Amino acid sequence: MTDAKNRIEETVKGHDVVLYMKGTRDTPQCGFSSRVAGVLNYMGVTYQDVNVLADEDIRQGIKDYSDWPTIPQLYVKGEFVGGCDIITEMTLSGELDQLFEQNAVAYDKDAAEKIREANA
């Protein structure tokens, strides 16, 4: 197992929610990362952000780890959930709420509902 894969696995399994993104939760460096971080931040989810721009090994390693070609990538309880489009769809359909509830991840239900209302 490579060093990058080991570090990714430790991070993904060591935190309930992990977002591999370009930039950080406070300063996203691409629109897709900004959208997913914005949803998580607005919903009050506690998560570990990993800036793939700070480490080329992690940037490529996370794509290999998930077999998913794009960033951002969201993990919940060690499982890959998806990228920006999938997270957006799950947020609007309520599936993300269900995923968080099934995995005992705290989030603001009112905020989630406000996102759906604003996009109705």
CA distances to 42, 61, 95 from 113, in Å: 11, 35, 12
The number of beta carbons lying within 10 Å of the beta carbon of residue 118 is: 8
| Distance, CA of 112 to CA of 104 (rounded, Å) | 16
| Residue whose token pair is 């990228």 | 83
Q: What is the pTM of this model?
A: 0.95
Residue type, 28: P
Please report which helix (H) or strand (E) contains residue 93, including its range. Answer: helix 84-93
Structural domains in the chain plus CATH codes: 3-115 (3.40.30.10)
Could you tell me the mean pLDDT of each successive run of 10 residues in the chain, 120 residues long? 89 98 97 97 98 96 95 98 97 97 97 94
